[in-house]
Each structure stands twice: as C-alpha cells, then as structure tokens.
Chain A
C-alpha cells in the first residue's frame, strides 16, 4: 500500500520498501540494560544498520522491556508490527516448537563449538523454518547470552550435594524440569525476589550467567559458585515474518548480515565481561569452584533422566539422538 504517512517516525507496515524519503524504522525491544554487553552490542547493530543502509533503515532501541514484555512483543510481531526482539529456545519451546527446548536442558552442550556446529546444521534450519511458518523469522542466532553457573549458600560440587536444595529458576517448564531431574527442588520465582529469599533461606541457590549473579548482588548472600556451565545460553533476535516480507531483498539481507556481525561483537564483549565479573565475584569473597572432567561427567550422567522426559515436553521421537547427531556426535 502507499499510505501517504507524512509524519512517520514510525514507517510501519505498508510504508516499507520503496519509500526512500522516510527511513524504515524498526523498533528493537529487549530486557537487558544499556550497560550490559547485549545492550552495547545492540547499539553497535543499530550503528551498522544505519551506516550500511545509508540512512534508509533505522533501529530504535528500547532497553529494560520498555516496549513491552517478550510475549507481548512476539504477539505484536505476529500481527505485523515493525518490531525485533530477543528470545531463546526455551521461549520458542513454549511457543509451539517443543523440540527447541532440548537445547536448554542441563549439560546438553559440552563446548561452544558444539553450539556453532548445531546452528549450522539442517536440523536447526528446519526448526527455524517451522518458526517462520508461525510468523517469526530468526535474524541471527550467534549471540552468546552467557554460560549459566550454579550459585549456592553452601558449597556444592557433586550432584548429590544439591539433592533437595531449593534452586530458583525462571518460570519455564524446561528450566524447572531440568533442575528437578538433577535432584534439586526447582523454585520458579521472579528474579527481583531472589535476593531476600536467599538471605533468609527460602532459597538455597540460584543459577544464571555470572553477569546477572553479580548484577543482582547475590554475592552478598551466597558465597559459592560452581562453574557448571550447565547451559550454553545462546540467544536469537527475531522479527515478524509478515513485516520482514514488506522489506526489499537487500534490506532483508542487510538485517541478517548486520545482526550476525553485531553478534560477533557481542561475543567479544561477553568474554571480557565474564572475566571481569569473575574477578569481581572473587573480590567480593565468593569461592569459585571449577569442575574436573570426572565431576562434569557425573553431572552429565545425573542430567540424563531429563532427556527421557520427551513425552512431558512433546518432543519428537528420538530427539536427543537426532540433535546429538546434528552436532556430529
């Protein structure tokens, strides 16, 4: 359509492709702050888009969920709004792609190399295709969100140590069942309530990337971190398929390539930040324990029951083996 939208700061919907006079604006919503690596890398992405499009495309950034919660944004994207948001497989699992959830099971990946191999596989491409049919297109998946570690009030080394311990998890079936399978008592709770709950013993522990653990000041109330890296948390940026189709082929290509490039920048920042946070946690008196290969094997072993719960999650037949094979294992 050619709506004569004179005052478009929004350039939405039909105003899309050929309109050179007013730039195509896309709004990017995410939960992180501007200071976190993700926040800085999105800014980089916006710069890249502006530069490489010669000013004909523009990303408007909304940190701290200012544009709305993730599910709200995704519904809006399906309705054709000009929005991009950050989301990961645990979310897509709840969104009707149950198989994606397995990537966020405990101890699924051994190394980040495994992650990158999987992202290049046909299996992953198929999943993205299914998501596209549901109205969402993934622009880039190579963004490291962090490696999730286990922080506890008393020292934990082996799976036996967390038996019955109350560990806080985000309210998602995959996360919750993952820790229940390891023998802990999973407590879904809003992140904002965790500090006091750790302090008074309602919780025994919490898991998250080091940056979040430090950002929430949990080091004041829990003194042990086990470097489990139980989830290699990569995340993705997605856009509404309908809106994407209103853009020209070059514009679409530009979004894909810049998202990927900014992702590499993000991963560099994440790596630096991880080092810094680790040091700050140590300085705050936290004891950080690395796992030996044998101990890691023990945790992997303990996580196995989770991968036999396919019926609970609605996974495809033999999903675990399929995905392992896609990683070349």
Chain B
C-alpha cells in the first residue's frame, strides 16, 4: 500500500467516527487519495460517484422497500400477525413467539430488518408489556427476530451482496431461507425456555382447532402467496429478481385495493419513505464505488488475497477469521456500508480458498448483520429502543442469551455449508 492509500484509510476512519454521514465520509476519504495523486484525473472521482448509482440490479432496493412499506399500510401485517397468534398460541412466551414468527413470515414481504423492527416495536411491544413481559425483553426479542426478515427472500443484504460479488441473486434468495428458518426455530426454542422460567405464559391453553386455524389462515393466504410468487416467478424466468420487486409493489397495491385499506395519502407517504431510504443507501453505494475504484486501481484486493493466503492456509480458519473480523467491524460500521467496502476484498479470497460462493455469501451476510444488534453502532438496537424507550443498558443485559444464539447459528452456518447450499441445489 502506498502513502495515498494509507492516508485514505485513515481519513475514512477519522471521518466516520467524527459523525460525518457515512456517504460523505467515504467521499471525503476518496478525496484525500485524489488530492495526493496528482497524476490521476480527478473527474474520475465524480464519474465513479455518479455512475455508481447506475445499477439495474440495485433497482430491487427501492422496489422491495416500497413493497414492505405498502404492506404495513394495507393492513396485510395485521392479518399475518393474527395468523401467527393462532399458530404459536400454546407456546411459552406468548406474544414473544408471535413476534418471532411474524418477522419470519413478514420476511417474505419486506427486505429490510430496520423497517420490520420499527413496525413491530410500535405494534407488538406495548401489547407484550400488557401481558406482563418486561419492556427490555420485548424490545430485545423484537430487534433480534427482525434479523430474520432480510434473510427470508427478499432481503436488501442478499441483493447488495449478489450485486457486488456477482453471485446470482435468485440463488441467494433461495439460500437465505435455510439460515432464516434456522434462526427462527432456534430463537423460538430459546424464548420458550426463558419464558418457562419467567412464567411468561402461553396465549391460550386449548388445542388449536381446525376452525381456529382456517379463520385466521384465510385472510393471510393472499399476503403469504407473495414469497411464492417471487421465488416461483424468478425460478421460471418470468421476471428477474429485480423485476420481482416491481411485481411485489403491484401485488401489494392490489391487496390494498382489495382490502380497501390504502388511501392516496398513505401511498404518497409510502413513496416518500421509500425515496429517502433508497437515496440514503444508494448514495453510500455510489460513494463506495469511487472508493472501490481506487482499491481496484491500486490492486489492493489481489494483494489482500495473496497476503491472506500466506497467513492462513486453511479455509475453515479463514472462515472463522472472517466471522470474527466482520462482527468487530459490524459493531462500528453500518451494515450496508461495510458490505460494499469489504465484499470486493473477501469474495475473491474466498474463491481462492475454493469455498462455494453461495455458502460464503450466507456466512458473510449473517456475520455482517450481527453488528446491527450489538453496541456501539447497532442500528437495530437503536431503532427498537428508540420506539419502545427501552434503555440501551437494559437492552444489552437482556440480549446476552441472544448474542450466544446468534454466535451459535453463525458457527453452524460456517461449518455446515448445507444450511446455505442445500435448498439452492434442490431448486436449481
């Protein structure tokens, strides 16, 4: 690494921790490089930072954000929640179980963990408290379970990763289901154990009758069809993974009309939310493409891969090193930003170790996501605590078993590739 590159990396860290917005920090760091490299035409800086937004694949981001937002406005979420209550009614933990299952099923409609956490913190946590579940536990369950949402297709992390590492997004969508379900089931099991001890009782003691099932399932059928439409449509080649987002929006509008639940004002509000979310992600993506242009030009990924292979000669050790590294980075850097900067470094190295690209993608995405749940820079934690007014201190204390669970799942994904690749091989 030469001086301009070193200075650039230092500038990035300084700017980030000075609370300069992430996109501006990345741009600022790149400016340092360009100013220190007089031989390079500085218009390239703007070229990369503008054309970086130009990606057909990333159209999926506004699409799936919009679809998720519209689902909340159309009452679809409420229908799915009622269905979850019936399914989990006899489990210890009551609404905590509903909370987890809802995140999993909503995963098929929404691509964003933050949106899911915000929505459930608002809708479910007050109800959970009324049933005697502590505020901190309710908040932790909400934040932890919302990590499932982006794993179940669609998910922004899956889309971003596929786009940067050039892995089929259709396959990644399918690959996310395994880890998503793994996290859902283990979390429900753990919450059940904790709840038994704390006497967080089930919602009901009676057995589920066929009647009960049907009357809650019927209103949820149409919304629950969306994930099937998405996976099926992509698999059959009717539309691409990107276009699936537009289809999802059309479908949620249709449901809104069907349920008479969506007003023009809400629609406008939904568009507004979509725009600001999209722009804040895409500006980081665009800024990062200047940054990664510099890394490529300086051949940093090649040097990094070479160095990595020299230091670590075993692919399992490499995977564990990646896990630890990403968790630490995730504690400080927002997930999308770290993904954009780090995938171009790690994906070629993983290929050099002969790792299956889908397997590595899932390990990377999962490890990268854990940081959102941990202090100091846990966006999920902040959003959930922000809505429920839970103290961060209480949150962290209550979250300990969940950190262990996440670490366990990560290890399982790391060492058992079939969790990630099994379903993909079955379907493709």
**A residues neighboring B (CB under 8 Å):** 3, 5, 7-15, 27, 60, 62, 64, 66-68, 72, 75-76, 79-81, 190, 192-193, 195-200, 202
Contact = CB atoms under 8 A, between A and B. Distances in A.
Contacts of B39: 3, 5, 8, 10-15
Interface string B233-253: 011111010000000000000
Nearest to A192: B168
A81 B41 contact: yes
B269 interface: no
Given A10-B297, A27-B297, A81 B44 contact: yes
26 contacts: A5-B39, A8-B39, A9-B298, A9-B299, A10-B40, A10-B298, A11-B39, A12-B37, A14-B39, A27-B297, A64-B166, A67-B296, A68-B48, A72-B47, A75-B47, A76-B41, A76-B47, A79-B41, A79-B47, A80-B41, A190-B56, A193-B237, A193-B240, A196-B236, A198-B237, A202-B237
A10 B44 CA distance: 15
A33 to B, nearest CB: 12
B293 A68 contact: yes
Contacts of A197: 237
Given A7-B2, A8-B39, 7 more contacts: A12-B39, A13-B39, A27-B297, A62-B296, A76-B41, A198-B237, A200-B236
A79 B296 CA distance: 18
Nearest to A77: B41
B43 interface: yes
Contact of A60 (B47, B51, B299): B299
Contacts of A72: 47-48, 51
Interface string B33-57: 0000111110110011001000010
B205 interface: no
A3 B48 CA distance: 25
Contact of A3 (B2, B38, B56, B299): B38
A202 B238 contact: yes
A93 B21 CA distance: 41
B3 interface: yes
B236 to A, nearest CB: 5
A77 to B, nearest CB: 10
Nearest to B236: A200
Contacts of A192: 168
Contact of B40 (A9, A13, A200): A13
A68 B50 CA distance: 13
Nearest to A82: B39
Contacts of B37: 10, 12
Nearest to A64: B166
B3 A7 contact: yes
Contacts of A80: 41
A76 B51 CA distance: 12
B237 A13 contact: no
Nearest to B5: A7
A76 B44 contact: yes
6 tightest Cβ-Cβ pairs between the two chains A and B: A196-B237, A12-B39, A7-B2, A200-B237, A79-B41, A13-B39
